[in-house]
Amino acid sequence: MIKLNMLSYSVNHSGGILNILKDVNWNLAKGSTASVTGPSGSGKTSLLSIIAGLERATAGDIKVAGVDLAGLDENGLTRLRRENIGIVFQDFHLIDAISAWQNVALPLDFSGKSQTQEQAKNMLERVGLSHRLNHRPTELSGGERQRVAIARAFVTKPNLILADEPTGNLDLETSKMVMDLLFEMVAEWQATFVMVTHDKELAAKTHKTFHMQDGRLDVEG
Ligand SMILES: Nc1ncnc2c1ncn2[C@@H]1O[C@H](COP(=O)(O)OP(=O)(O)OP(=O)(O)O)[C@@H](O)[C@H]1O
Ligand SMILES: [Mg+2]
């Protein structure tokens, strides 16, 4: 599902060139689950952004769902992301001006799907929020917001789910509930799952754990 070969990512910034990812090799099979731990600033979010096609690698090869990302223009990357990838962020990334169900319907609307309202509502029911369909994100608790974000990530039935510190802004009990839900959904949808987390216990729940250190990725188990 994910194939990285000598992938590097550098940015030009005020002080010169910053090498964020260095010669990363990674092979993640379809249907497997993986976590990435590592210190702040080591490059974890950058790695997910490149896999999601939100940023471009500066060297090396990257294939996601069998597609070589270097061969895609911006529209191609957007299409690949819409069709294959669901993303869950630490700070939810919901749109505050619209309701919970409208947030969940958005990826379906973008893909030109029909009956998006019905699908969005079914998805919110799946994550236990059928009583909060018309609430705006600002009217929801942190755990509820993340459940809306999870519903949005899964609503297009993507085969790859990326999660960046999905419970980073939640208390312990809510984190557990959200993570249980996330793992349940990954299993139910047979999605490939990549999660960035600081939590070693959480990381141990995935098939494989990786460690990022200063832009380099190592297997842990
Ligand atoms: N566009 C950019 N311009 C300059 N520096 C950047 C840019 N993007 C990321 N960086 C730097 O690259 C490093 C890696 O960033 P990244 O967000 O991937 O780290 P991270 O491992 O996710 O950290 P955290 O655990 O704190 O979220 C950081 O030092 C960051 O400041
Ligand atoms: Mg990060």
Confidence of residue 220 (pLDDT cuts 50, 70, 90): confident
Rounded Cα gap, residues 83 and 153, in angstroms? 11
Centre of ligand 2 to C-alpha 198, Å, is 10
197 Cβ closer than 6 Å to some ligand 1 atom: no
pLDDT band at 123; cut points 50, 70, 90: very high
Establish whether residue 44 lines the binding site of ligand 1, counting it when its CB lies within 6 angstroms of any ligand atom: yes
Q: To the nearest whole percent, how much of the chain has pLDDT over 90? A: 95
CA atoms within 13 A on the CB side of 37: 14
**Phi, psi torsion values for 156, nearest 5 degrees:** -90, 5
Q: Would you give the end-to-end CA distance of the chain in angstroms?
A: 19
Q: H helices within the chain, ranges in order?
A: 44-51, 74-84, 100-110, 116-126, 142-154, 172-189, 200-203
Q: Which amino acid is at 125?
A: E
Question: CB–CB of 157/145 below 8 Å?
Answer: no
How many Cα atoms within 13 Å fall on the side-chain side of residue 101?
A: 16
Sole residue written with tokens 């893909």: 111
The CATH code of the domain that includes 48 is 3.40.50.300
Q: Which domain holds residue 182?
A: 2-219
DSSP state, residue 130 = G
Task: Identify the band that residue 221 occupies on the pLDDT scale cut at 50, 70 and 90.
Answer: low
Of the bound ligands, which one is closest to the alpha carbon of residue 24? 1
Residue nearest to atom 26 of ligand 1 (CA): 40
- What's the domain count of the chain? 1
